[in-house]
């Protein structure tokens, strides 16, 4: 079952538990015991006999470790989440926790429909929760994503919810009149200070609408491929960062020299930074940009937003209509 789940998505983004490493991916005895436990919990219900084959090869097959995402002090367990209906309450808990933490308006932010993109949610949460393998040229090891879909399909809201479940902050730029590459570089300085000096796990959410100048993508391409933006900081700014990071660098085993501390800063930045690109497939813009900046496709996990599955839409409609009062004019 777990093997099927791993094959359906890419094996290189999974993180097997200790039990799986010791005993393998599928344990028939564990499956049988789980069925017995479910029957014992509901003795009055008519038992449904499910064969081992049907249980393993059911669709959807959903796994994740965010059942206790709201409790940061508790350990996480990578487990079977059963189906879309079973995870409805889980997503509602995560949504409510996010609203309370950030004091959000309940009418803003993530739409309930987007919660049913559980496969993408689980994938992004794993990517955002994993460190960057620095330096690397192996696809997906950088833990960056590019979500491709039309406007309003839930790209940004899925990213925000996944970042929250992975205990990451979300960094976004604000494009205003006169915003240019210099302004973008200033924002990137703040971003790298967060992830490198302050060591905050952060997801940089960047959309196609924020590409005011094509030069922005040159900087992002460097972030994706080498983990840094060359010549981003001036010498005096670099000296300040080195001074603030020297103690942490020495504690991590680096020498006190400027070059060594700066190498520590760059490595820490790459480990804590995840980029989420939200792009539209309309027109030729994305195709041309991918040709000009190969890091967009070579150093990201690419997710295409497809139509919602029927089970997800049906469950969302049912949950959304529960609080609606229907009046029939006889």
Q: Which tens digit of pLDDT belongs to each residue from 70-109?
A: 666 777 677 777 776 667 667 777 667 666 665 554 444 4
pLDDT of residue 306: 73
Q: Read off the CATH number of the domain in which 136 is found.
A: 3.40.50.300
Please report whether residue 31 resides in a domain: no
DSSP for 81-112, please give it: ---HHHHHHHHHHHHHHHHHHHT--TTSS--G
Whether residue 185 has pLDDT greater than 50: yes
**What is the domain range of residue 217?**
114-318
Partnered with residue 256 across adjacent β-strands are none
Whether residue 113 has pLDDT greater than 60: no
For 92, what's the count of Cα atoms within 13 Å in the CB-facing half-sphere?
9
Q: Which tens digit of pLDDT belongs to each residue from 15-72?
A: 444 444 454 444 556 656 666 666 666 666 666 666 766 766 666 677 776 666 666 6
Burial of residue 112 (CB within 10 Å: 0-12, 13-18, 19+) is middle
Q: Which residues contact 60 (CB under 8 A, 6 or more apart)?
A: 83, 84, 118, 119, 309, 311
Please report whether residue 91 resides in a domain: no
Q: Which tens digit of pLDDT belongs to each residue from 131-184?
A: 544 444 333 445 899 999 888 777 888 888 888 877 889 999 999 999 999 999
Query: Would you call 40 helix, strand, or coil by DSSP?
Result: helix
Please report whether residue 41 resides in a domain: no
Please report whether residue 83 resides in a domain: no
Whether residue 323 has pLDDT greater than 60: yes
Containing H/E element for 22?
A: helix 18-23
Tokens found for residue 40: 């014992």
Pairing of strands 63-64, 79-80: antiparallel
Please report whether residue 68 resides in a domain: no
* Residue 238's pLDDT band (cuts 50, 70, 90): very high
Percent of the chain with pLDDT over 90: 39
* Percent of the chain that is helix, strand, coil (3-state, to 5): 50, 10, 40
Please report whether residue 6 resides in a domain: no
DSSP for 112-175, please give it: GGGGG-HHHHHHHHHHHHSPP-SS--STTTT--EEEE--TTSSHHHHHHHHHHHTT-EEE----
**Residue 230, CA distances (Å) to 138, 141, 219, 253, 300 in order:** 21, 21, 8, 25, 20
Please report whether residue 104 resides in a domain: no
Number of domains making up the chain: 1
């Amino acid at each position: 079952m777990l093997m099927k789940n791993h094959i359906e998505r890419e094996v290189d983004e999974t993180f097997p538990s200790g039990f799986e490493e010791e005993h393998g991916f599928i344990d028939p005895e564990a499956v049988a015991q789980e069925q017995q436990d479910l029957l014992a919990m509901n003795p009055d219900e008519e038992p449904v006999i499910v064969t081992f084959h049907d249980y393993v090869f059911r669709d959807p097959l959903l796994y994740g470790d965010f059942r206790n995402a709201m409790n940061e002090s508790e350990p996480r367990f990578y487990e079977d989440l059963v189906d879309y209906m079973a995870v409805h309450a889980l997503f509602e808990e995560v949504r409510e926790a996010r609203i309370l933490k950030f004091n959000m308006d309940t009418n803003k932010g993530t739409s309930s429909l987007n919660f049913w993109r559980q496969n993408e949610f689980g994938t992004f949460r794993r990517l955002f929760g994993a460190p960057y393998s620095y330096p690397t040229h192996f696809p997906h090891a950088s833990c960056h994503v590019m979500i491709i879909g039309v406007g309003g399909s839930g790209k940004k809201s899925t990213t925000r919810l996944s970042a929250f479940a992975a205990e990451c902050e979300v960094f976004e730029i604000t494009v205003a009149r006169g915003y240019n590459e210099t302004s973008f570089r200033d924002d990137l300085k703040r971003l790298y200070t967060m992830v490198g000096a302050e060591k905050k796990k952060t997801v940089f959410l960047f959309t196609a609408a924020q590409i005011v100048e094509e030069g922005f993508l040159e900087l992002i391409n460097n972030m994706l491929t080498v983990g840094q933006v060359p010549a981003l900081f001036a010498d005096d700014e670099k000296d300040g960062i080195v001074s603030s990071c020297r103690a942490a660098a020495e504690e991590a085993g680096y020498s006190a020299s400027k070059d060594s501390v700066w190498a520590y800063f760059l490595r820490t930045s790459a480990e804590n930074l995840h980029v989420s690109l939200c792009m539209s497939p309309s027109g030729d813009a994305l195709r041309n940009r991918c040709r000009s900046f190969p890091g967009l496709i070579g150093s990201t996990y690419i997710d295409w937003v497809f139509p919602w599955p029927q089970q997800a839409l049906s469950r969302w409609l049912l949950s959304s209509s529960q609080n609606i009062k229907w009046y029939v004019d006889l």
